[in-house]
Amino acid sequence: MIRICLALVICAMGLGAHAQGRELTALARVEMAQTRIDDIGGGLRVRLGLSQGVPFRVFTLDEPARLVMDFREVDWRGVDPTLIDWAEGAKAVRMGTFRPGWSRMVVDMAGPFAVDTTEAKTDKASGTVQIEVVLREVSEADFASAAGAAPLPGWDIDQPGLPAVKQARQTGEGKLLVVLDPGHGGIDPGAENDGDSEKELMLRFARELRDELMRAGGFDVALTREEDKFVSLERRVAIAHKLGADVFISLHADALSEGRATGATVYTLSDSASDKASAALAERHNRANILAGVDLTESDDVVADVLMDLARMETQPRADQLARAVRLGIKEQGIALNSRPLRSAGFSVLKSPDIPSILIELGFLSSRSDLDHLRDPVWRAAMAAGIRDALEAWRIADAAAAKLVRQ
């Protein structure tokens, strides 16, 4: 009965449904009170406070000597570099975005200081993170030999992409290919609280949701990561294109340093973010990953932007319907939703122009009740059942809408 009701509700919705705005930023912010550069005996100490954990790497560069910290990704607004540098060993500090989705902080050093230790500490109560880098003075020769960014999995920005596969819009007759994206992984733990990390909780739930969908029949399911490893945001979307996904669902459980947010929330790409997403995607070198079945490698940014906008005219209303179905499916299972369960934001994993994509915040690790729910296998089974029902109902309604479009 729930599947029939869900399908009827979705069919009754207009294709031009508007997503709600988001008040909370998706990016880590700098905590100025925990950010400072100091001289220490024989070296430097760099401390950077962030509102939430993000993957980062640290390395040095020579000629001139400087410390480089790369992030995915940080909101630098309101940061005053002059209030950070209290060290004679540091000449200047600068930060900003050096390409879409990547942030960088550079410390110009007065001498050859090599990285000695790097540590990231998470405050379990607030979810804030303090990164501390200790540098020790070394010889010019040793500094020069150690300078440069070490190769790390997932940090190769220009890594080759996967060729995109064009798949016809689903008609309700074949299996629905669902790509599940457990957030974070590897060097990126995501939110953390009381010994649990977002990356571990989301991978466990993604596996359980996959099993639930496979038992239900009518679904093929793939995960963007099967283990605890770092997968770049672009590659997560590229995997969905490679497989020819019908639906992309990213799974998260955030933590907030302020407020008492609880309950599940479903996100779609916001209207304002759609234009920015097209512009950013058009800048990328590997255009086989951004619009399945269309070769954009020789197209200029204007043409690529127009083609992606045309694709979103069909895809975005389908994603909005999916989000509403998931909200209703979760509610029907008796699971608490956030006070504003449907929202929109500019999350990178939602920017695929031609795959209906949503992001589900299963809860907030900063909430004790939400954390207990994510630890509870009974609760997780109910959440998986709600998402399963939603996908089955959405498939029926989406197929019906496709027939109307063809007519």
The tally of CA atoms less than 13 A away on the side-chain side of residue 340 is 10
- Of 287 and 63, the one with more pLDDT: 63
Domains 2-23+156-406 and 28-146 equal at CATH topology level = no
User: E strands along 138-263, which residues?
Assistant: 176-182, 192-193, 196-197, 219-223, 247-254
Domain 28-146 has CATH 1.10.760.10: no
CA distance 177 to 240: 9
Write the CB contacts of 162 (distance below 8 Å, at least 6 apart in sequence): 235, 238, 239, 241, 242, 288, 289
Where do the domains of the chain lie? 2-23+156-406, 28-146
Check pLDDT > 80 for residue 99.
no
Res. 160 pLDDT band, cuts 50 70 90:
very low
CA distance 31 to 127: 12
What per-residue confidence (pLDDT) applies to 347?
A: 74
What per-residue confidence (pLDDT) applies to 258?
A: 59
Enumerate the β-bridge partners of residue 67.
60, 107
Check pLDDT > 60 for residue 400.
yes
Check pLDDT > 90 for residue 21.
no
Residue-wise pLDDT tens digits, 43-56: 999 999 999 888 88
User: E strands along 163-305, which residues?
Assistant: 176-182, 192-193, 196-197, 219-223, 247-254, 264-269
Residue 212 three-state SS: helix
Global pTM exceeds 0.75: no
What the block records as the tokens of 341 is 């369960």
385 neighbors 333 (Cβ within 8 angstroms)? yes
Fold of the domain built from segment(s) 2-23+156-406 = Aminopeptidase (3.40.630)
What per-residue confidence (pLDDT) applies to 278?
A: 34
What per-residue confidence (pLDDT) applies to 306?
A: 45
C-alpha 327, offset from chain centre: 20
383 neighbors 335 (Cβ within 8 angstroms)? yes
Listing DSSP states for 334-349 in one string gives T--EEEEEEEEE--GG
CA distance 181 to 355: 14
Residue-wise pLDDT tens digits, 188-197: 888 888 889 9
Res. 34 pLDDT band, cuts 50 70 90:
very high
